[in-house]
Amino acid sequence: MSLFKAVRSPLFFKMLERSLVLRGGHTRTALLALTIAACTATAMLTLYLDLDAKLHKEFRAYGANIVVSARDNQALPDQAIEAARSILPARALLVPFAYAVAHTPQGLSVVVAGTDMNLVKELNRWWSVSHWPSTAGEALVGERVLETLGRQQGRYTLIFGERATEFYFPGTLKTGSDEENRIYISLADFERWTGKRASTLEVSVPGSREQINAVVGDLRSRLPMADVQPVRQIVDAEAGVISKTKLLILAALALIGVTVTLCVLATLTASVLERRRDFAMMKALGSSQRLINLLFASEAVFLAVFGGLAGSVLGLGIAAWIEHANFHATVLPRLSVFPVVLLGTVLIALLASLFPLTKLKHLEPAGILKGE
């Protein structure tokens, strides 16, 4: 009987079924190891593919990564602001700022910033704010400024030039940085009071370091009257975290793959040694070495496929849990991950089968059947 006919015969599948069932502990150990490998690979690859978008989103909470400022303390023209908006990608955020130094009736100097409160709230989600201003005449005051002015008053008078105005401070700002030395009011209130317009644009652009640098180049070419600088601390930190996290995931996958391969190798080798009399009997009855090798490899592939399927389902569940716990988002199944995980699991099983197959090749039926 040819090898092809032998494989197609019901007897071959019956032998495969019995060997898997009768192996007991070895089957469960190899299956568990392959399932864990597939589960881990599915979870980590799913997170890997979503990593850029998720980490870019998280870093956007730490403020702008590009700053556009007018030269010589001048205001930016309206066309410059509109030109900047037209260059930016759809998910970018642009927030205008205007600054002035005012003073209190007692002569204390304070920095006042005019901006769009709704945009600032979205740009700087890391700010600790007790209450955001919502109407005209309200201001957001930094903790250090409030300590200087005194907390007893309900309203505070500020003077810029010859113009005095009153602001109510419903909320305080804590950042641990220079923002605590400023008072933030709406840009409309700021322009009516001081007559000054926005001189700085803080921009948050999603994407990699290369994409951000490309946007910086476009802004510089379109806004020659302004200085355009990336915020290197955020851009470099973002790129470093993403690249290191990706390398860590790939290294972990490689380590898990090697560990599982060794585990399956030890299990399959033990199985060969335990069943050497069965394989010797098959040889003595006329089975070819190729048929025995195919039977043994088929067992490994069957375990790999079953473990890959079960591990993929479990891995998606783990990835969903990690995404929800860390990014408060729902993970979407990646169809491209499944064939990669399944193929990788089969390759691990086949690689682990190579050494046991060499053991099968050197089995001597006569000696083993005699008990030698």
Same domain, 215 and 250: no
Query: Of 231, 251, 284, which one is at a domain's C-terminal end?
Result: 231
Backbone angles phi, psi at 134, to 5 degrees: -130, -15
More confident of the two residues 4 and 341: 341
More confident of the two residues 106 and 299: 106
> pLDDT tens digits for 19-75?
555 555 667 787 788 888 889 888 888 877 776 666 666 666 667 888 999 887 788
Token readout for 131 is: 């209450």
Q: Do the strands 182-186 and 109-115 form a parallel or antiparallel pair, or are they unpaired?
A: parallel
Q: State the chain's mean pLDDT as an integer.
A: 79
Q: Identify the pLDDT of residue 7.
A: 47
Is the model's pLDDT at 307 over the cut of 70? Answer: yes
Token readout for 100 is: 């002035």
Cβ-Cβ contacts under 8 Å for 188 (sequence gap 6 or more): 114, 136
**Residue located via tokens 């190891």:** 33
Query: Of 172, 200, 231, which one is at a domain's C-terminal end?
Result: 231
* Contact present, 132 and 171 (Cβ < 8 Å): yes
pTM of the shown model: 0.60
Same domain, 221 and 257: no
Triad 77, 204, 101: Cα angle to 5°: 50
Same domain, 73 and 219: yes
Q: Identify the pLDDT of residue 300.
A: 79
> pLDDT tens digits for 101-143?
999 888 889 999 999 999 999 888 888 999 999 888 899 999 9
Same domain, 95 and 208: yes
Domain range for residue 202?
66-231
